[in-house]
Amino acid sequence: MKTALSRASFPVKPLPNYLQGINPKNIINRGVRKQGLQIELTMRLREDFFKEMNRAGRQNRTPLFNRFVQAIRAGIRSLPS
């Protein structure tokens, strides 16, 4: 996922240990594969995804949002089955 986001020009920063979600009790790690992905987005990035941050405005997505979605999809496709 990091590679896919980086290729789409989205910076990926390492998190401090306490935010890495490695605890087996974390909801992300409780699925069939016992692992998952949690993405933390800054408020600035979320604001840049939409025309406005209200309910109606979030229906109007920006090209940046679409690029982010495509990067996430590319990252998912690259995961082993």
| pLDDT by residue, tens only, the chain of 81 residues | 999 999 999 999 888 888 788 888 888 889 888 888 888 899 999 999 999 999 998 999 999 999 999 999 999 999 887
Give the Cα separation of 75 and 56 in Å (integer): 29
- Integer Cα distance of 27 and 33 in angstroms: 12
Name the nearest CA neighbour of 37 among 47, 46, 27.
27
